[in-house]
Amino acid sequence: MGRLLLAVSLVLVSSTLAHAQAGNRPTFTVGDTWTYTKRTPELGEEARVVKADETSRVIVRPNSKCPTCSWVYDKDLTLIQVLGEDGKPADASKFGFLGIGMKFFDFPLEVKKTWRIEAYGLFRGDNVPFIIECTVSAFENVKTKAGTFKAFKIDRSWKIRVSAGPPPNWSDTVWFSPEPKTIVKFESGNRNAQPWELASYSVKP
């Protein structure tokens, strides 16, 4: 009986540790690739890592407004810059809302963890304040075209401060999975935002 209890205890401890590590900041390798179902023109349908180091990674993501641009993220997957084909910073006003500098992930991810984003972003051509409340509400199975994944469900509440009229606000949800190292599904209460999900991927462990 003692050995059985010890074995069960070890399994539970191992399971707990695996769960705790699941939400850690992911690492990337050049060549990691993801494809998605139909997404808004600003997001494109494919992403591929073309450069990666300890502090940042550069991702090529086809975009109808800038098909040759590169998107630079820091180690926490915060978008910090968009570069044109010449390697120089691109004019963000041509892309609409980009979320540059907005920390959409607060690693390590854990159920019930919350954080608040306060930053300026483009909305209808103007640079205005955004307030986004983020909550990790679950760690659950989510089914996509690329398969079924264990993923952190992140609920987000958006508010925008505008100079005239009622402030726009809406909610959306993303599911981030440690296995493919990406958001695997997106749903939004904003009727202008199309839902999308992961269609395929190829990443190194």
pTM for this one? 0.83
For the CA atoms of 113, 79, 42, 23, the dihedral, rounded to the nearest 10 degrees, stands at -30
pLDDT at 20: 43
pLDDT tens by residue, 35-89: 998 765 545 578 899 999 888 888 887 665 677 788 899 999 999 988 888 888 9
Q: Is residue 11 part of a domain?
A: no
Q: Is residue 49 part of a domain?
A: yes
Q: Which two tokens stand for residue 114?
A: 């919350």
Owner of token pair 């808004």: 40
Q: How far is the C-alpha of 22 from the C-alpha of 189, rounded, in Å? A: 28
State the total domains in the chain.
Answer: 1
Q: Is residue 17 part of a domain?
A: no
Mean pLDDT of the chain: 83
> DSSP letter at 94?
G
> DSSP letter at 89?
B
pLDDT tens by residue, 98-134: 688 999 999 999 999 999 999 988 877 788 899 999 9
pLDDT at 59: 85
> DSSP letter at 25?
P
The least confident of 137-146, 158-167, 181-190 is 158-167
pLDDT at 5: 33
Band of pLDDT at residue 97, cut at 50, 70 and 90: low
Cα–Cα distance list, 74 to 9, 29, 59, 69, 103 (Å): 38, 14, 11, 17, 10
Give phi and psi for 16, each to the nearest 5. -65, -45
CATH code of the domain covering residue 186: 2.40.360
Half-sphere exposure of residue 203, counting CA atoms within 13 Å on the CB side?
19
Q: Is residue 12 part of a domain?
A: no
The whole domain housing 113 covers 24-202
Q: Is residue 18 part of a domain?
A: no
Owner of token pair 């690492």: 27
pLDDT at 202: 97
pLDDT at 8: 31
Q: How far is the C-alpha of 157 from the C-alpha of 137, rounded, in Å? A: 13
